[in-house]
Amino acid sequence: MDLGLKGAKVLVTGGTKGIGRAIAETFAAEGADVGICARNAAEVATMVASLQSQDKVAYGAAVDVSDGPALKAWVADMAETLGGIDVVVANVSALSIGPDEDSWQRSFSTDMMGTVRLVDAAMPYLEKSAAPAIVTISSVSGREVDFAAGPYGTFKAAIIHYTQGLAFQLAGKGIRANSVSPGNTYFEGGVWNMIKDGNPELYAASLALNPTGRMGTPQEMANAAVFLASRAASFITGANLVVDGALTRGVQF
């Protein structure tokens, strides 16, 4: 299937590791021009160099998405560099699950406001695009209560609500908005890698909950995000695509 992404101008936050990296790589493989950001400048440079070495159009910068002015400036710079913006993917999370106030604040500033500010900054460019799309990365923790209940789960749920609101509000402008809710996703250096090494009991219990007998991969999550952003999904908006291998039991109507 031709996803119709060749030449699309795409921004991905948190594009150097795990799901975000796989999303950026998949867009590039589809022929899109990609701009990424993450907090670590060296990792951004390495990721951009990797894509460019494959003859892909890629740019990036070190940005903390909880810093509103810095995020807005990065979006404007990428829009100028890429020649517009067609797609934004809000992927960054503070991964804060503690009950303390600081964890709540980090989750709000990074997960929630990092998403809202990305969309707000990109909106003038999306309005000029012929095929504009917004994809937000939520989590199955936003659908049901699990060990990450608290700031992480709460704001992941809020992101789904926010995204579906965008879909309704922006439909008249032709701007689509969808979310992806990954299940447990394993990759080297990721949170489940750390849990496997540091809390093997929790890892084993979490793995046992999935009837597939495994966790997902970043590529499997990226496939969903890139499809939702593509022209192939032109009549899909306001959806929350759960990619969890039947981990969750809640029925979506």
For the residues 13-26, what does the mean pLDDT come to? 98
CA distance 78 to 91: 17
Asked if residue 146 is part of any domain, the answer here is yes
Asked if residue 250 is part of any domain, the answer here is no
At residue 195, the pLDDT reads: 87
Q: pLDDT band at residue 84, thresholds of 50, 70 and 90?
A: very high
Q: Are 246 and 210 in contact (CB under 8 A)?
A: yes
Q: pLDDT band at residue 148, thresholds of 50, 70 and 90?
A: confident
CA distance 174 to 124: 13
CA distance 54 to 24: 13
Q: Write the CATH number for 100.
A: 3.40.50.720
Long-range pairs of 130-133 with CB within 8 A, sequence gap ≥ 24: 130/86, 131/4, 131/8, 131/86, 131/231, 131/234, 132/86, 132/87, 132/173, 132/174, 132/175, 132/176, 133/86, 133/87, 133/88, 133/175, 133/176, 133/177, 133/178, 133/228, 133/229, 133/230, 133/233
Q: With a cut of 90, say whether residue 1 has pLDDT above it.
A: no
b/e burial code for range 218-231 (CB count within 10 A of at least 16 → b): bebbbbbbbbbbbe
At residue 248, the pLDDT reads: 92
Q: Choose among 23, 15, 76: nearest CA to 40.
A: 15
Asked if residue 191 is part of any domain, the answer here is yes
Mean pLDDT of all residues in the chain? 96
Q: pLDDT band at residue 244, thresholds of 50, 70 and 90?
A: very high
For residue 133, the cross-strand partners are 87, 176
At residue 92, the pLDDT reads: 96
Q: pLDDT band at residue 147, thresholds of 50, 70 and 90?
A: confident
Question: Which residue is listed with tokens 């809710």?
Answer: 181
Share of the chain above pLDDT 70, in %: 100
Asked if residue 3 is part of any domain, the answer here is no
At residue 251, the pLDDT reads: 84
Number of independent structural domains in the chain:
1
Q: pLDDT band at residue 123, thresholds of 50, 70 and 90?
A: very high
21 CB neighbour count, 10 Å cutoff: 23
| pLDDT tens digits along 92-116 | 999 998 999 999 999 999 999 999 9
Residue 67 to residues 74, 76, 180, Cα–Cα distance (Å): 11, 15, 24
Asked if residue 23 is part of any domain, the answer here is yes
Domain span including residue 159: 9-243
Asked if residue 252 is part of any domain, the answer here is no
Residues known to be catalytic: 138-139, 152, 156
